[in-house]
Chain A
Amino acid sequence: MSDTIVTSTTGPATPTTATPATASPATAERVLSGTGTATLPMTKALNAGLRQAMRDNPRVLMMGEDIGPLGGVFRVTEGLFAEFGDKRVLDTPLAESGIIGTAIGLALRGFRPVCEIQFDGFVFPGFDQITSQLARMRNRHEGGVSMPVVIRIPYGGHIGSIEHHQESPETYFAHTPGLRVVSPSNPHDAYWMMQQAIASDDPVIFFEPKSRYWPKGEVNLAESGTPLHASRVVRSGTDATVVGHGAMVSVLLQAADLAAAEGTSIEVIDLRSISPIDYGPILTSVEKTGHLVVAQEAHGFVSVGSEIAATVMEKAFYLLEAPVLRVSGFDTPFPPAAVETHFLPSPDRVLEAIDRALSY
């Protein structure tokens, strides 16, 4: 975690580095200033997005386990405690239902809490408060209250960790009316989507792909370029469309590279938002390619991939030249890390599905 933020500019804008942790919130200074790009890992991009949101709105609070002086187990909140203090960065007792339930109370009071769940598999003690309370509070109040709560969940495999530390539980939340569910795949989206999620008046479950925390990427400092709930074509192609979110996007891009070497042109779509799903770019792409493969680390049974497959078949049956195929984690518990590469969809497994679709 010793990466320093490298910034570059495309114009005369002032080069910047990370804002010192001691900066006063009153300055409202941009965390990442300039109009060019900054090259940084997703952890730093998320940190900058959180810090920016806290500077922009004094009602934004951070809550979670070990997020204060430590900066979180992944250091995503590093330096926020030093800049904003213990009134806005709350190290909480170790109780996920308590974190979410008190965040609901704080939101009723007019705060905009951002809760960190330490690992994907630890969200379930807070599941009842999320699904029975947070998701429905606005509806129950007939619109009289809003629940601008963001729940950050580091998720997914590829990090060789122990049980409950590599899971992909996004489907549970996508299935719950009242929640919005998003997952960035790269530092640029992480920076902007975090700010957009915090600005949303609806609860947003924000899935951060752990395995993409550390690779650096360019962040356009001037603009996000994409609304929070838009999917986006990240690589153009003509033979088949592949769709995924979070860490899967880089797997899909690798698969597309391998396919290109064999003369197959793959279009890659980054879903970005799991609820709602933006079908526009997917349908446009399928119209062009006639073939669709959906990939996800999560279990395939009753999954985001299942939903996309069903919806695309409903909306675009005659555009399809083959069944929509899913590439998923198996319908087993996430296995011991020693065999996770067999469990997780790999570029080769994506290619296998593409080959099946194209040879249908």
Chain B
Amino acid sequence: MSATPNASPTVRLLSPEGVFAPSDSAAEFLPYLDRLTEADYRRFYRDMVVVRRFDTEAANLQRQGQLALWVPSHGQEAAQVGSAHATRPQDHVFPSYREHVVGMIRGLDPVDILRMLRGVTLGGWTPEDHGNFHLYTLVLASQTLHATGYAMGMQLDGATATGNPETDQAVIVYYGDGASSQGDANEALVFAASYQTPQVFFLQNNHWAISVPVTRQSRTPLYLRAAGFGMPGTQVDGNDVLASFAVTAKHLDDARAGKGPALIEALTYRVGAHTTADDPTKYRDPEQLAYWVARDPIVRFRSHLQGLGVEQEFLDAVDEEADDYAADVRRRALDIHSPEKAVIFDNVYAEPHPLIQEQKAWLDRYEASFEGGDA
């Protein structure tokens, strides 16, 4: 716990009690709040509540045998909702595998995520039809390099840094404190700095890589690593949705304006398990969990909204919408169909490959040989 939201450099706009009380370090990010309307505030709250409810529903589906695995995002809603709303339509988003609400904000149907975790597809969606939200990447930090290459391509295409923020493109890539130790994460920072890519590295420090604490990954706050690569680094209170938005909006706009990449470390907490196969009671101090539960991002923003005078009817309506949303997801998740066996062979190659064709034909013949028999 060397770095907590109480550490002085952390950009924070809302106190844990939901009072607007910007940290000194927040000054340069405050102007970005002017972009938000009251409707945006309501939307932020709604998105956090809906994904928390969705998360519970998905975990239930896993417990009931409907999913092979579930990857909870409980506790990280503000980091994800704030950063996702800072993107523009022309941007490209490279997630890891826990950024469910980022995908939803970019236009993804979360049932597509469930399809992958149910084992009916290795991917689940077409990024270009879903807000340029790229596929989940399960090997830690691999996507940081894909994102960097994509951002290099934006530069080569002249699709960024023209001076028009409405069309200039940028990339945001999500990864975590565990992935920050991977070679690929570091090579991505090297390449991004070298080519000055239009890119934001959004590192969610949720303090745990399955059972290994962030202190094993790094003896220094992770945002400080940015300086070693030659780019700006900002630590933000990831449980403060407004701070997550403002910090990401500034760095994304800088990126699209040709000022190069930046690293954001969002301090947050994985309240739930790593996945439904995990048991955090075996390795976590209950007091640490309690500390973070007391800093719940949804509770904090609800208090803030209430302080602004948002009516209780709205908050109740959001809860109701979240329940409906989860029920709808459940209905449709149970209706996910298994693919035909042809998916084994199709799309391994773009062009015909004799070995694959031969094996596909063989499997058809083999399985057809049982037809009419007892099998």
> Residue A171 at the B interface, CB < 8 A?
no
Distance in Å from the Cβ of A155 to the closest Cβ of chain B?
23
- Other-chain contact of A138, B121, B148, B194, B348 (Cβ < 8 Å): B348
Are B348 and A139 touching (Cβ within 8 A)?
A: yes
Are A93 and B156 touching (Cβ within 8 A)?
A: no
- Report how far A95 CA is from B156 CA in the complex, Å: 21
> Which B residues form the contact surface with A (CB < 8 A)?
121-123, 126-127, 134-135, 137, 139, 142, 144-154, 156-157, 183-184, 187-188, 190-191, 194, 343, 346-351, 353-356
Are A93 and B184 touching (Cβ within 8 A)?
A: no
Shortest Cβ distance from B146 into A: residue: A105
Asked if A109 meets B348 with Cβ closer than 8 Å, knowing A93-B194, A98-B190, A104-B145, the reply is no
Are B146 and A104 touching (Cβ within 8 A)?
A: yes
Are A140 and B123 touching (Cβ within 8 A)?
A: yes
Distance in Å from the Cβ of B343 to the closest Cβ of chain A?
7
- Report how far A141 CA is from B356 CA in the complex, Å: 18
- Report how far A204 CA is from B184 CA in the complex, Å: 22
Shortest Cβ distance from B193 into A: residue: A93
Give 10 closest A-B pairs by Cβ, nearest first. A105-B149, A101-B145, A109-B153, A102-B149, A98-B187, A143-B347, A201-B350, A105-B150, A105-B146, A95-B187
- Report how far A95 CA is from B195 CA in the complex, Å: 14
A-B residue pairs in contact (CB < 8 Å), sample of 11: A93-B187, A98-B190, A105-B150, A106-B149, A107-B149, A128-B142, A128-B184, A132-B139, A132-B142, A138-B349, A141-B126
Asked if A101 meets B149 with Cβ closer than 8 Å, knowing A93-B190, A111-B156, A128-B142, the reply is yes
- Report how far A87 CA is from B152 CA in the complex, Å: 10
- Report how far A110 CA is from B183 CA in the complex, Å: 26
Residues on B with C-beta less than 8 A from A125 are: 183
Are A102 and B350 touching (Cβ within 8 A)?
A: no
Are B184 and A101 touching (Cβ within 8 A)?
A: yes
Residues on A with C-beta less than 8 A from B184 are: 97-98, 101, 128-129
Are A97 and B187 touching (Cβ within 8 A)?
A: yes
Asked if A276 meets B145 with Cβ closer than 8 Å, knowing A102-B191, A139-B122, the reply is no
- Report how far A334 CA is from B144 CA in the complex, Å: 34
Residues on B with C-beta less than 8 A from A110 are: 153
- Report how far A53 CA is from B356 CA in the complex, Å: 28
User: What sequence of 0s and 1s flags, for each residue 86-123 of chain A, a beta carbon within 8 Å of any chain B beta carbon?
Assistant: 01000011010110111111111111000000000000
> Residue A133 at the B interface, CB < 8 A?
yes
Distance in Å from the Cβ of A86 to the closest Cβ of chain B?
10
Residues of A70-88 contacting chain B, CB below 8 A: 87
Distance in Å from the Cβ of B169 to the closest Cβ of chain A?
10
Are A97 and B348 touching (Cβ within 8 A)?
A: no
Shortest Cβ distance from A178 into B: residue: B348
User: What sequence of 0s and 1s flags, for each residue 40-71 of chain A, a beta carbon within 8 Å of any chain B beta carbon?
Assistant: 00000000000000000000010000000000
Are A98 and B145 touching (Cβ within 8 A)?
A: yes
